[in-house]
Amino acid sequence: MGWSYDDHSEFFSLQELVEKFSLERLNPAPAAINFSKLDHFNGLHIRNLPDHELASRISPYLRSAGYAFDDQSIIDIIPLIRERLVTLDEAPDWLGFLFTDEIQIESSQLIGNKMNVKESLLAARGAYTILADLPAINLENAEPLLRLLADELGLKAGQLFGILRVAITGQTVSPPLFESMEILGKERVLARLKKAVDLLFCLSEDDP
């Protein structure tokens, strides 16, 4: 505020600011804080941190939210969240589903986009069968099979993945789905998907 280096440079490290700042370039006109711009810069600085540094900065927020974890597990998930964080205190909202055995799911959110309950149930059951047959769940082995399932059901991949995202993370927006599934592990993924299938089945029974 009240100072600029040139017409196009905006992002500086602290050391760069020290080197480039000069009182002579200060503008005496009144300045106002642009909080949207402040968030933008904060996100840029977060993305510029090394993995271990960002992990150490978000860990206190996760612990304050009641989550238990080891330091290495946080470093492993940094690539999933780095591009999504704007402020450090957002970390528990993004990552909490990874550190708890039970997640809360809104049944209505399990119904896929432009799908009915029975179609969503069929999709969830099909996904469960595919994932249960895999030795482990990761991007390389799960995504192609689930895309094929979507094609067979006449769905767009996003419709199926949206159901799975809610079932597995409890969120409509989350870190990358398949990478999150790999971190959760097959047992927890299947347990959550089974719960989602059961919820959709109950909805289908109530649906005339």
The CA dihedral of 125, 151, 162, 128, to the nearest 10 degrees, is 20
pLDDT value of residue 15:
84
Domains, in order of start, for the chain: 50-99 (1.10.8.70), 107-206 (1.10.10.350)
| Cα gap 199→203, rounded to integer Å | 6
What local confidence, expressed as pLDDT, does residue 97 receive? 95
Identity at 133, one-letter amino acid code: D
- Calculate ∠ Cα 101-103-107, nearest 5°: 145
What is residue 9's three-state secondary structure?
Answer: coil
Per-residue pLDDT of the chain (208 residues; tens, 9 = 90+): 555 666 666 777 778 778 877 777 777 777 778 888 889 889 989 999 999 999 999 999 999 999 998 888 899 999 999 999 999 999 999 999 999 988 999 899 999 999 999 999 999 999 999 999 999 999 999 999 999 999 999 999 999 999 999 999 999 999 999 999 999 999 999 999 999 999 999 998 876 5
Q: Compute the distance between CA of residue 160 and CA of residue 200 in angstroms, rounded to an integer.
A: 14
- Say how many C-beta atoms besides its own lie within 10 A of residue 72's C-beta: 9
Cβ neighbors of 201 (< 8 A, separation 6 or more) are: 121
Q: Which ranges in the chain belong to alpha helices (H)?
A: 14-20, 35-47, 51-64, 71-81, 91-95, 117-132, 139-152, 157-169, 177-184, 186-206
List of residues 6+ apart from 107 with CB closer than 8 A: 199, 200, 202, 203
| Contact yes or no for 112/156 (Cβ under 8 A) | no
Which has the closest alpha carbon to 85: 51, 135, 34, 116? 51
68: number of Cβ within 10 Å: 9
Buried b (16+ CB within 10 A) or exposed e, 129-156: ebbeeeeebeeeebbeebeebbeebebe
